[in-house]
Amino acid sequence: MPQFSVFRNDNRDTVADYPLLLDVQSDLLADLATRVVIPLCLADTMQGKLLKTLTPTFQVESKEYAMLTPQLAGIARQHLGTQVGDLTPHRDEIIAALDFLITGI
């Protein structure tokens, strides 16, 4: 499960709001039973509520999604659905959002 992979959300309770999950956990911790993920929602549902650094947007499967960094969570690896994308080319933006969440800079 490579870091910055995008997966379908298999949780029936949250999939409508957060259809995708971005795995941000280091590959060095691949053997853990849990993964740290950030939910992705359709960007147009967040009109006027996005902060460029904290909630960057990305194209996945031809749609624009917002990364909801403040909703960072740990989930069981088995609850990740099918991998549908890879945001590795956007590593700097993702790390900047995590840095801003944690350090404020």
CA 51 – CA 29 distance, rounded (Å) = 29
pTM: 0.95
**pLDDT tens for the 105 residues of the chain, in order:** 799 999 999 999 999 999 999 999 999 999 999 999 999 999 999 988 889 999 999 999 999 999 999 999 999 998 899 999 999 999 999 999 999 999 998
In order, the DSSP letters of 44-79 are GGGTT---TTTS-EEEETTEEEEE-GGG-EEEEGGG
Please give the domain boundaries of the chain with CATH numbers for all domains. 5-103 (2.30.30.110)
